[in-house]
């Protein structure tokens, strides 16, 4: 490898980081939900700094926050691509967008579950089983309520 090639590789790497940063900034400017997830994640991580948490607990919180933000970015990408593909209403495009949004919801449920278990113990002095109980109720309850609501809506349409 010669010096010129090494410099070119470094320039390409720097350019890639600049492009990635510009993409994040634009998504942050345009996407309200991304800003909301970022704000909540920032608050959780700031609070966790002042709590007596293990390294593993901190890593789980960081993983949960980054996962939700990553999924929100992916959802944004899917929505933009679907809009570019067709501006007309299409049930297949609606399905893709709904599944993509559902993915964000699912990861958000994961993040809330992690937060309930870890922060519940640290802030409210919950025993681990109480945090797990709230987490299970939340993870099972919210999708169940959504499914039942969807079935009810479908039944109303048939009548």
Q: Find the CATH number of the domain harbouring 77.
A: 1.10.287.3610
pLDDT (tens digit per residue) in 25-38: 999 999 999 999 99
Place of tokens 């893709």: 96
**Whole-structure pTM value:** 0.81
Residues marked as catalytic: 72
Domain membership flag for residue 15: no
CB 80 within 8 A of CB 65: no
Name the residue among 91, 85, 97 with its Cα closest to residue 105.
97
Average of per-residue pLDDT values in the chain: 90
Number of domains in the chain: 1
Domain membership flag for residue 131: yes
pLDDT of residue 123: 93
Q: Which residues are documented as binding site for substrate?
A: 72
Which residues constitute the domain of residue 72? 31-158
In sequence order, what are the residues at sequence separation of 6 or more whose Cβ sits closer than 8 angstroms to the Cβ of residue 52?
A: 122
Instruction: Tell me the CA distances in angstroms from 46 to 55, 124, 145, 158, one per residue in order.
Output: 15, 17, 32, 49
Q: Which residues, given as ranges, of the chain have pLDDT below 50?
A: none
């Amino acid at each position: 490898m010669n010096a010129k090639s090494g410099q070119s590789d470094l320039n390409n790497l720097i350019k890639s980081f600049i492009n990635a940063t510009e993409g994040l900034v634009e998504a942050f400017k345009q996407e309200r939900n991304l800003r909301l997830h970022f704000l909540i994640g920032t608050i959780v991580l700031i609070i966790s700094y002042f709590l007596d948490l293990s390294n593993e607990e901190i890593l789980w919180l960081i993983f949960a926050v980054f996962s939700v933000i990553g999924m929100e970015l992916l959802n944004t990408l899917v929505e933009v691509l679907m809009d570019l593909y067709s501006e007309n209403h299409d049930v297949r495009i609606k399905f893709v967008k709904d599944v993509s949004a559902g993915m964000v919801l699912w990861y958000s449920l994961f993040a809330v579950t992690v937060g309930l278990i870890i922060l519940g113990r640290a802030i409210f002095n919950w025993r681990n089983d109480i945090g797990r109980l709230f987490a299970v109720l939340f993870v099972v309850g919210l999708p169940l309520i959504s499914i039942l609501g969807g079935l009810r809506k479908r039944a109303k349409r048939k009548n």
